[in-house]
Amino acid sequence: MLNHRSGTLYEDMYWIDLDNLKIVAEETNALIEKEIVYSDATKKVVENSNGLVTIHSHPNSFPPSISDINSNFTNGYLIGIVVCHDGRIYMYKAMENISVDYYNLTVVEYLKQGYNEDEAQVLALQEIKGKFSIQFKEVTDDDM
């Protein structure tokens, strides 16, 4: 996935059925930068499946976006995984929809404290994790 999109701003995404660990859908031909567009085939798989794990790439190497978090909840995914082009990996799980405004306000609050966009998003997610029903963490060597 990272090799496929190395040097570009396009994302790849895979949906994995945890029952048989098989890839049941994929979007690897994105035409819009930094975004996944679900094909009709993918939408059908998502609508008719339980127990899906998603994994997608982030060319900006940002942590999971608020769209990622809310997609995880709305589509009923088990776990979401983001792999960043700088090597970081994040896992996330949302048990409720998170207000986009609340998220954005929180990010700006951290930006105004001097954090960069990446740091501000990580801190915002950690704060939201404490107040809302989401799980979020960076996968590190300790987790292996």
Partner 1 sequence: MMICENDRLNIPEEYKRMSVSELQYRKEQIYRDLRQNTKAEVKNVEYKNETVIFHF
Binding site for partner 1 (CB under 8 A): 11, 13, 18-19, 34-38, 43, 46, 50-51, 54, 56, 58-60, 62, 65, 67-68, 70-71, 73-76, 78-80, 91, 93, 95-97, 99, 101-102, 104-109, 111-113, 117, 121, 131-133, 135-137, 143
CB atoms under 10 Å from CB of 50, counted, come to: 10
| CB closer to partner 1, 3 vs 128 | 128
What kind and span of H or E run contains 105? helix 100-112
Least Å distance, CB 124 to partner 1, is 10
**Packing angle of the helix pair 66-74, 100-112 (nearest 10 deg):** 160
In whole angstroms, what separates CA 19 from the centre of its chain?
Answer: 21
Q: Which is nearer to partner 1, 4 or 35 (CB)?
A: 35
Q: Residue 96: helix, strand or coil by DSSP?
A: coil
The nearest distance, CB 27 to partner 1, in angstroms, is 9
**Residue placing its CB nearer to partner 1 in the complex, 3 or 47:** 47
Nearest-approach distance from CB 7 to partner 1, in angstroms: 15
Instruction: Report the alpha-carbon angle 39-41-46, nearest 5.
Output: 95
Q: How far is CA 84 from the centre of its chain?
A: 10
Q: Which is nearer to partner 1, 3 or 143 (CB)?
A: 143
